[in-house]
Amino acid sequence: MIIRYNAVRELMIDSGLAPKSFEGIKNECELFHESLQTAEEIEDYSFLDQWVTKFKSNQDSYEFFWDYRHHHPTTLIRGEEFTISSLVALAHDHQANISLVSVRELISNAQDLNKVDDFQVDYVAEFDVVYDAYSKFFNLLTHNIRRNDPCPCGSTKKYKLCHGLKTGAKGK
């Protein structure tokens, strides 16, 4: 299933991400930089500065958005169509702004518009399964899991007896 670019763009705007020009994003980054106080904020600005530099040469290929809640830019590739997997990544990356309910509605509406054959796959359920797997994988990669913690894969085993075996976490 393919979700059209304009539908995803509308979802982002409805979720509070403001469309901006490249210069607007650059200005927001500079305004954000002026208010920095902690080392962590300065490190975040360094990331933003690299981000702006990266997209400067290809700015016509992207549409830029600014998240005023978290002072964070994001982009969409102009005209890109979205698969379930790319929607999962978008929803996970912007989970503070874009609700899963909104993404499910987007998929459901697109599915209603694209009914071609009699056999219909439940794309909302597919989205949920892929999103859950993505979230568990992301948690596994980004969190410091102790060997006796429950495994983030959802099994009832301790981490050391499940996925920890693959990473070298050994139990006694």
E-assigned strand segments in 25-135: 62-67, 72-77
pLDDT of the residue at 31: 77
Region of poorest pLDDT, from 31-35, 63-67, 128-132 = 31-35
Q: Name beta bridge partners: 78.
A: none
pTM (2 decimals)? 0.65
| 126-167 pLDDT tens trace | 889 998 888 877 776 666 777 788 776 667 788 788 777 655
Question: What whole-number distance in Å separates Cα of residue 116 and Cα of residue 119?
Answer: 9
Task: Answer positive or negative: Cα dihedral of 72, 75, 81, 86.
Answer: negative
Averaged pLDDT, 11-31: 83
| 79-126 pLDDT tens trace | 888 888 888 888 887 777 788 888 999 888 887 766 544 456 788 888
- Residue 66 pLDDT > 70: yes
Contacts of 47 by beta carbon, 8 Å cutoff, 6+ apart: none
Confidence of residue 37 (pLDDT cuts 50, 70, 90): low
Higher pLDDT pick, 169 / 88:
88
pLDDT of the residue at 142: 61
Question: What whole-number distance in Å separates Cα of residue 20 and Cα of residue 155?
Answer: 43
Count Cβ atoms below 10 Å from residue 115 Cβ, excluding itself: 8
